[in-house]
Structure 1
Amino acid sequence: MSKYKGILDNIARYVTLSDDEIKEFTSILKTTRIKKRQFVVQPGFISEYQNYIVEGAVRVFYLDDLGKEHTIIIGIEDWFFSDFYSYVHRTPAEYYAEALEDSLILQMKYEDVEELCNRIHPICQYFRLLIQKGFAYSHKRTISNISKTSEERYWEYVDKYPQIANRVPQYVLASYLGISPESISRIRSRS
């Protein structure tokens, strides 16, 4: 069970599962190793899995019509990622999910999660709470993007997630914050 420790600890922060419920939950987990720069999700294909990062770092991004990358998720250990619209609605993905480092992930198929949620209330409650937190964070990020300067957004992110800001390439962080890598260099040089 040690390979599931992270996700089980994550679940335990929100709900309590019995030993049988833990066994049922872990039975739907698929362990996958991905190499740096490998894609887990690509546009045009349905995002079959919700993914939990055991080790490593991943980003989710899309390309605009001019080919510019826009990072929407940066995840490290104990984070979930996917093209969630594709995953939930069973439609072709619009985003890429790319490993920033060699990574180990746990994958959960949509149908398996739904089946467990229909039968096991604490698992349903857990995923509901994750979705609520993600939705609330998304709104907070939107407000930050429209109301704060690039420098304020940068320092806010660095203060909240120093372990990510110091780990991912500067161009990925810049893309996530909606600023140029050169702007980050200028911001850092002023500190």
Structure 2
Amino acid sequence: METYNNILQNIARYVTLSEEEKERLIGIIRTTKIKKRQFIDQPGYVCNYRNYVVKGAFRSYFIDGDGKEHTVQIAIEDWFVSDFYSYITQTPATLYVEALEDSIIFQMTYEDIEGLCKEIHNLSEYFRISTEKAFAFSRKRALSNLSMTAEEKYLELLQRYPNIVRRVPQKVIASYLGMTPEFMSKIRKNLSSKS
């Protein structure tokens, strides 16, 4: 059970599971080691797993018609990462989900989670809450992208997630913030000259 402490603590922030319910959840978890640059989701394939990051870092991104990459999510320990639209609708993915570091994830299949959620109300409630929070965050991020300057977006990321800024390659952060690595480098230079 100790191996699963982090995911169980994540769940306990929102709901309470009995010992038997925890055991049933642990019974559907598959532990998978992922190498840096390995994909866990790719366009054209249905995303069958909800992936919880135990150790490591990931990004999800798409490639536009001009061949430019656009990062839509960065995930580190204690976060879920997948092509969530593909996972929820069980339709082919549109995103690549790639490991940025050698990583370990817990994987739970769509069928297993759906089956357990029908039987364990609090688990269903947990996934509802976490999905709503993810939706609310993506809405806030979309509004920030429309209303904030590039420097403000970078400062907000730095303030909220300093660990991500330290660990994730600058080109991935720039892609996530919707700017070129060169422009982000100028922002960082300007900020360091102000301090």
Give the shorter-chain TM-score range: over 0.9
Runs (4 or more) in structure 1 with deviation over 4 Å come to: none
- Distance in 1, matches of 2:140 and 2:156, equals 12
1:58 is aligned to 58
AA partner of residue 160 (structure 2): K
Task: Please state how far the C-alpha of 1:3 moved relative to its aligned partner.
Answer: 2.0
Q: TM-score, normalised by structure 2?
A: 0.96
Q: Which residue of 2 aligns with 1:11?
A: 11
State the alpha-carbon separation in 1 of the partners of residues 48 and 99 from structure 2. Answer: 17
> How much does 1:42 deviate?
0.8
> Displacement, 1:167?
0.7
Q: Aligned pair 1:145/2:141, yes or no?
A: no
3-state SS of 1:73 partner: strand
Instruction: Write the mapping of 1:149-160 to structure 2, written as runs, cut at 5 A.
Output: 149-160=149-160
Per-residue deviation, 1:90: 1.1
Partners of 1:46 and 1:135 in 2: CA distance = 20
Which residue is equivalent to 1:107? 107
Give unmatched runs, 5+ long, in structure 1: none
Q: TM-score, normalization: structure 1?
A: 0.98
Report the AA paired with residue 88 of structure 1.
I
Structure-2 residue corresponding to 1:120: 120
Distance 1:22 1:75 in 2: 24
Query: How many residues are matched?
Result: 191
CA shift, 1:99, in A, is 0.3
- Taking only the aligned residue pairs, the percentage that are identical comes to 56
The structural deviation recorded for 1:2 is 2.2
SS state of the match for residue 65, structure 1? Answer: coil
Which sections of structure 2, spanning at least 5 residues, go unmatched? none
